[in-house]
Amino acid sequence: MLSVWRLQLLREVSRRGTIKAAASAMSLTPPAVSQQLAILKRETGVDLLERSGRRVRLTEAGQLLVEYADTITGEIAAAEAALASLQHSMTGTLRVAAFPTAARAVMPVVMTALSRRHPGLRVTLQDLEANESFTALRMDEIDIAIVDEYDEEEQVAGGGLEVHDFLYDPLFLVLPLDQWPSSPVPLTQLQDAFWIMARQSSQFCQVTLSACRTAGFEPRIRSHCKDFTVIMALVEAGLGVSILSSLALYDRPVRARVFPTNPPLARRIAAVIRPERRRHPALALMLAELDRFGASYKPAPGGLTGRNQSPKARRYEKRPAS
């Protein structure tokens, strides 16, 4: 009989490309992984892996076995969810990843509320960008990913993931206090200004670039920054203008002119899970808490009205790289 654990090892090697990376993910040594895969080869009677330089790739038989391993792992996750639903109190660990702005603005509120209601449930958090979160979700390194989307079409993340919208987050134009009037400024008046942008590889940067180009100009970029607090500090120092999300301005003092963009820009914030885990009560509790945050959220500054709507579930098929 095939060992489920050895099938999971083969699955990790398939996903990560090297025995060393799979060993690290499973907290094993590379020789231990190689030994277990050799046993699996003897049990099946066929070659499962072949070398390709420093990496390994699956044979046709190995790929077939990994497909069954994916199914088995999904059924195990469903069984865990069913067993957890029988517990009278919620315990265990829920692993969450969120893009940095949501990790700062959303997760402290949500995690505090969960810990008060369910003290036996431990929630861990990593700050990851959306594409990093999708990889971690597919690798079973996290249970739920909080991601951002910027267009009206359904984004796809590659492989039957389920997405739950919970927040509509408008974007704002942010200008230095002493350089601009207190009335709204159209983007067309900012073609000669210096711009402070998010990092070049980010979706947020691409959205800002697109908005400027739609307004008829190529922005003069002074800085690219990963951290929105750095962007805000540079704007407040009078070094440039920027577009920031309401979440980036949430619950913090702002010493700058802040106006809605014209035309309006916004992003959706969503929680993404693996469908086989949707019935796990800990995930249900997290989704409910995220919904509460979204329902009570007042877009900054000054509680400007957004258009948060009742959350809905969707399915992802694939998501283009940013």
CATH: 1.10.460.10, 3.40.190.10, 3.40.50.2300, 1.10.12.10. Which one for 169-266? 3.40.190.10
pLDDT at residue 312, rounded to an integer: 47
**Which pLDDT score is estimated for 112?**
95
Q: Where do the domains of the chain lie? A: 4-83, 90-168+267-316, 169-266
Q: Tell me the sheet residues that pair with 267.
A: 169
Q: Which residue has the higher pLDDT, 243 or 74?
A: 243
Q: Is the pLDDT of residue 253 over 60?
A: yes
Q: What is the pLDDT of residues 150-184, one digit of tens each?
A: 864 445 444 578 889 999 999 999 999 888 877 88
243, β-bridge pairs: 173
pLDDT digit string, tens, across residues 65-80: 888 777 777 767 666 6
- 101, 227 contact by CB (below 8 A): no
Predicted confidence band at 321 (pLDDT cuts at 50, 70, 90)?
Answer: very low
- The mean pLDDT value for 238-266 works out to 89
Per-residue confidence band for 87, with pLDDT thresholds at 50, 70 and 90 = low
pLDDT of amino acid 269: 94
**Distance from C-alpha of 79 to C-alpha of 232, rounded to nearest angstrom:** 47
Assign a CATH topology to domain 90-168+267-316.
D-Maltodextrin-Binding Protein; domain 2 (3.40.190)
Tell me if domain 4-83 and domain 90-168+267-316 are identical in fold. no
Alpha-carbon distance 35 to 42, whole Å? 11
What's the confidence (pLDDT) of residue 136?
83
Residue 251: pLDDT band (50, 70, 90) is: confident
What are the structure tokens assigned to 33, written together?
């992984």
In CATH terms, the fold of domain 4-83 is Arc Repressor Mutant, subunit A (1.10.10)
pLDDT at residue number 225: 93
Mean predicted confidence (pLDDT) in 54-61: 83
